[in-house]
Amino acid sequence: MRRDIFQAIADPTRRAILVLVAVQAMTPNAIAEHFDIRRQSISKHLRILSECDLLVPRQEGREIFYELKIDKMKEIDAWLDQFRKIMEDSFKQLDDVLFTLKNKNK
Amino acid sequence: MRRDIFQAIADPTRRAILVLVAVQAMTPNAIAEHFDIRRQSISKHLRILSECDLLVPRQEGREIFYELKIDKMKEIDAWLDQFRKIMEDSFKQLDDVLFTLKNKNK
DNA sequence: TACATTTGCAACCGAACGGCTTCATAATAC
DNA sequence: GTATTATGAAGCCGTTCGGTTGCAAATGTA
């Protein structure tokens, strides 16, 4: 079973949950009210998001508030960073790269 | 069939392809050499990435060079942006939010 | 023309996904 | 003590995913 942030944010429902919870920590029931799917399915999503450390549960009596762990979001940003770097370098040497490529694949 | 950037980058092979192609445009065969899967599977991934506008094919004779469309990456960045804003606001009003939440869910 | 190379497409297959329903458990209310 | 509420876990089911093989089309070469 693959379980990483990228797989976690691939599902639109989970992305919506993240946005909701970013504003304020919420209980599964409260979250489920925003969707047309059963509470139990939301629970599944919350489990996945928690396993990826994107959410952290905080028990309060019989309620559980799920809170966003914004730090984990930075991992996505870090992945994007690698492209920013690569592209900076590539743009500088764009013509060289294209030239090399054409010769290599002649 | 769901087909958006988030679903596209959910697969680790596709993420690796994007990194490869970011350095320089490549043909399917050249890309496939970097993986332990069949060329046809790579073709499938390239199709998905192209349909999401993350890659753009450029025909050259019988070869096809797949090139990264870096602009599309910015959509992911834009999605993250929404969290940056929400979190800035939330931190300021964190105590207020928690107070409101407790009353609302009493 | 005949043949090799590069590529994409279709069909197939097992595993994972994302819903669902049902049930168990723990905390609260009566 | 009993009923209610909040939640998670287990199992089912149809669909999607990511790999495979086989084949056809288009281009380049002998």
Mean pLDDT by 10 residues, chain A (106 residues): 91 97 96 97 98 96 96 91 78 53 43
Nucleotides of D under 7 A from a protein CB: 5-10, 16-22, 26-28
On chain A, the residues whose CB falls within 8 A of the CB of B9 are: 6, 10
> Which residues in chain B are closer than 8 Å to A26, comparing Cβ atoms?
101
SS3 content of chain B, % helix, strand, coil (to 5): 65, 10, 25
Q: Of A86, A95, A100, which to mutate for an interface test with B (greatest number of B Cβ within 10 Å)?
A: A86
CA end-to-end distance (rounded Å), chain B: 41
Chain centroid offset of residue A18 CA: 8
In this predicted model, which residue has the larger pLDDT, B30 or A103? Answer: B30
Angle between helices B12-23 and A70-92 (to 10 degrees): 30
Q: What is the pLDDT of residue A94?
A: 52
pLDDT computed for residue A97 by the predictor: 47
Q: What is the pLDDT of residue B87?
A: 62
pLDDT at residue A1, rounded to an integer: 74
Put simply, whether A103 touches B (Cβ < 8 Å) is: no
* Residue ranges of B 13-72 with Cβ closer than 8 A to chain A: 15, 18-19, 22-25, 27, 30, 63, 65, 68, 70
CB proximity list for A45: less than 8 A, separation 6 or greater: A11, A13, A14, A17
Exposure class string for A19-56: b at 16+ Cβ within 10 A, else e: ebbbebbbbbebbbeeeeeeeeebeebbebbeebebbe
More confident residue, A104 or B50: B50
What does the alpha-carbon distance between residue B22 and residue B55 come to, in Å, rounded to a whole number?
A: 10
Averaged pLDDT, B22-27: 95
A27 Cα to chain B: minimum distance (Å): 9
What is the rounded CA–CA span in Å between residue B31 and residue A95?
21
Q: How confident is the model at residue B97 (pLDDT cuts 50, 70, 90)?
A: very low
- pTM summary value: 0.84
A10 in contact with B, Cβ within 8 Å: yes
**What mean pLDDT, rounded, does chain B reach?**
86
Question: Which pLDDT value is given to residue B89?
Answer: 65
Q: What is the pLDDT at residue B3?
A: 85
Residue of chain B nearest A5, judged by CA positions = B10
**pLDDT score at A91:** 61
From A24-28, A56-60, B36-40, B75-79, the region with the lowest mean pLDDT: B75-79
Q: Identify the closest residue of chain B to A97 by CA–CA distance.
A: B24
Q: How high is the pLDDT of residue B13?
A: 98
Tokens at B30, concatenated: 């050249």
In angstroms, the separation between the Cα of residue A76 and the nearest Cα of chain B is: 8
Distance (Å, whole) CA B78 – CA B21: 22
The spacing between the Cα labelled CA in A44 and the C1' in C22, in angstroms, equals 16
